[in-house]
Structure 1
Amino acid sequence: MGMACAALVASALIAASSARAAGSPVVTTQKLSWELAERLAATAVRICAERGWSVTAAVVDPSGHEQVIIKGDTVPLQSLSVSYRKAYTAYAYGMVFDKDTTSALIAAKVTGPENGALNTIPQVLFVPGGALIRRADRSILGGLGVSGAPGGDKDEACAVDALKEVSPQFR
């Protein structure tokens, strides 16, 4: 996968950002409204809290930027950046490799080159806890990352369950 992986991701992001209708000088991007992004992040935090874990949940939009962050009451400081990085990784790499979670990316061995160079990109974090935000037709709206539970598998379960609960509203 190596450098080809990084090149593939970069070319897919460029293609996605420059895609437009034939003859139209305007590019439009589908994304969640701020209200729905906030609801999704809050749902992930609530689900984890019901399970006894205080977490931070981040939503990234199709530009890869943070759209919403909801921080639980007693999460450690690093959960802010980690939740964003999980959301970013789930979005950027899940879109390219058609994987719905960071765990699925890891299982498919989409973790960068053997020398680890891909892992030096500041936003990339191949750790369970990120999920691609998709509509029912599998079109992509962004990424959701959760951090703070005692294990990435638990973070990811909260993210996936929040998506199941909120995704019917992704019309």
Structure 2
Amino acid sequence: MKKMFLTAGLLASVAAAQTTPAPAPAPIQLAPTTTVQHATLSLAAANRIAMLAVGNCAAQGYNVTATVVDRMGVTLSVARAENAGPHTVDASLRKAYTSASARNLTSAMAAGLAANPTLADIPGFLILAGGVPVRVNNAVVGAVGVGGAPSGLVDEKCATDAIRTVLGQ
């Protein structure tokens, strides 16, 4: 008899629990600002930088490709000298992407590669000189990658001079 009473009581508790609605979850509290805004390089500026970088290298006798990406590493503009090698397109993109992602000169990254060799394992990264971040008010708004000169430092100078000309830095 005791067994039956306990079982009936247990069943009544389970039935009550199943019919009692669960309390509503508390609403998610969002921070006062739910979006962020970032400055990014304009297409017009990207086109000018790409063309100037190719022109800067052409003035030295080098056929290069310059790729300009936005702050997230997405391509905005590509300029390729008519006689630039086919490999320069990918190299310039990867240098620009690397520079935008790391917010650093790829030459500086290459110099520190021995201390941090896993950087070379990041998909899409190319740790060779020639990638330059574009900064406005100290914020990275894009990056330029140049490929095709006999030295990555020449690539870097062509990009740096183009950025200075366009942004007046």
Q: Normalising by structure 2, report the TM-score.
A: 0.75
Structure 1 equivalent of residue 126 of structure 2: 125
Query: Secondary structure of 2:155's match?
Result: helix
The 8 Å contact of residues 41 and 71 in structure 2, kept in 1 or not, is answered as no
Structure 2 residue 135 is the aligned partner of structure 1 residue 134: yes
Paired residues in the alignment total 139
Percent of pairs with identical residues:
37
Q: Normalising by structure 1, report the TM-score.
A: 0.74
Which structure 2 segments of 5+ residues have no match? 1-30
The 8 Å contact of residues 112 and 119 in structure 1, kept in 2 or not, is answered as no
In the alignment, the residues of structure 2 paired with residue 128 and residue 168 of structure 1 have an alpha-carbon distance, to the nearest angstrom, of 23
Alignment of 1:89-104 (within 5 A): 89-93=98-102, 95=103, 99=104, 101-104=105-108
The 8 Å contact of residues 112 and 118 in structure 1, kept in 2 or not, is answered as no
Alignment of 1:19-98 (within 5 A): 23-93=32-102, 95=103
CA RMSD of aligned residues (A): 1.9
Query: Secondary structure of 2:66's match?
Result: strand
In the alignment, the residues of structure 1 paired with residue 67 and residue 147 of structure 2 have an alpha-carbon distance, to the nearest angstrom, of 9
Structure 1 equivalent of residue 143 of structure 2: 143
Q: Which amino acid aligns with 1:159?
A: A
In the alignment, the residues of structure 2 paired with residue 45 and residue 118 of structure 1 have an alpha-carbon distance, to the nearest angstrom, of 28
How far did 1:60 drift? 1.1
Which structure 1 segments of 5+ residues have no match? 1-21
Structure 2 equivalent of residue 19 of structure 1: none
How far did 1:24 drift? 2.6
In the alignment, the residues of structure 2 paired with residue 142 and residue 46 of structure 1 have an alpha-carbon distance, to the nearest angstrom, of 20
Structure 1 equivalent of residue 158 of structure 2: 158
In the alignment, the residues of structure 1 paired with residue 91 and residue 151 of structure 2 have an alpha-carbon distance, to the nearest angstrom, of 12
Specify the structure having the higher radius of gyration (Cα). 2
Q: Which amino acid aligns with 2:152?
A: G
